[in-house]
Amino acid sequence: MKDQLYNYLLMLGDNSMILGHRLSELCGHGPALETDIALTNISLDLFGQVRGFFRYAAEVKGGEATEDSIAFLRYDREHYNCILVEQANVDFAHVIARQFFFDVFQELQLKQLVESKDEEIAAIAVKSLKETKYHLRFSSEWMKRLGDGTEESHERLQAAVDTLYPFTGEFFHETPLEKEMKENGIGVDLELIKTAFDETVSQIFVEATIKMPESKQRMVKGKYGIHSEQLGFILSDFQYMQRAYPNMEW
């Protein structure tokens, strides 16, 4: 059970870590100063959530494991994030659509994790949920502004949604690990989350005048450690300092 809990904590933290890094790439590149700062703050919030999960993961693993070694010294096949959060910052519409889909899922997941039988996970979820509610409000409002804005903003957002929405199916593809965690009262029920996810997304799409894509589901192997080429580029940047200067101290 110790190994399963450790891997589940990695799964919970990896989505926020990879998306947090993607948002950090936008620092100084936002369409307006206020939005630039907001995206940077969301990135920092996500890394705060990661630290909570990885600190606990290090305790569970024991030995010389630390939150830093877990974050910076794993290879791509040892990451269990969904493929969606790896996707590139193509334009602002893609950034917002990716953030929106993740925020909807993350809020629903955290609401269930608050009731986890694992008290440490529940405590992390309580703190993270407060931040995620703001994230969802931010991304939802931008979905509506872009979708129901100018002709160009609408077209760009629709193109982003058409590209990214098919990746959301992976959120609800239950792995054997997630099933075990659910049955032990530690993890979440993805089927219940999917129902609420579909309702929220459909509602915002209507308000944003965005059509639901008809594209088929894309890759669903991220939670098994099989990723798109994007993750390799992310890790080469994200892990550079630790790998170039091992055990470096400031």
Asked if residue 22 belongs to a domain, the reply is yes
Number of domains within the chain: 1
Structure token pair of residue 107: 């809020």
CATH no. for residue 87? 1.20.1260.10
Asked if residue 60 belongs to a domain, the reply is yes
pTM for the structure as a whole: 0.92
Contacts of residue 209, Cβ cutoff 8 Å, sequence gap at least 6: 147, 148, 154
Asked if residue 104 belongs to a domain, the reply is yes
Asked if residue 249 belongs to a domain, the reply is no
pLDDT the model gives residue 67: 79
Asked if residue 188 belongs to a domain, the reply is yes
The secondary structure of the chain as a DSSP string is -HHHHHHHHHHHHHHHHHHHHHHHTTTT-SSSHHHHHHHHHHHHHHHHHHHHHHHHHHHHH-TT--HHHHHHS--GGG----GGGG----SHHHHHHHHHHHHHHHHHHHHHHTT-SSHHHHHHHHHHHHHHHHHHHHHHHHHHHHHTS-HHHHHHHHHHHHHHGGGGGGGG---HHHHHHHHTTSS--HHHHHHHHHHHHHHHHHHTT-PPP-PPP----GGGT---HHHHHHHHHHTHHHHHSTT---
Torsion angle of the four alpha carbons 145, 150, 153, 158, in this order, in degrees rounded to the nearest 10: 90
On whether the CB atoms of residues 46 and 52 are closer than 8 A, the answer is: no
pLDDT the model gives residue 232: 82
For the chain, 250 residues long, give each residue's pLDDT as a single digit of tens.
Answer: 788 999 999 999 999 999 998 988 777 766 766 776 788 889 999 999 999 999 999 998 888 888 788 988 888 898 999 999 999 988 999 999 999 999 999 999 999 999 999 999 999 999 999 999 999 999 999 999 999 989 999 999 999 999 999 999 999 999 999 999 999 999 999 999 999 999 999 999 999 999 999 876 776 788 998 888 887 887 777 777 777 777 766 5
pLDDT the model gives residue 54: 95
Contacts of residue 198, Cβ cutoff 8 Å, sequence gap at least 6: none
Residues spanned by the domain of 157: 2-244
Asked if residue 31 belongs to a domain, the reply is yes
Asked if residue 250 belongs to a domain, the reply is no
pLDDT the model gives residue 73: 84
Asked if residue 181 belongs to a domain, the reply is yes
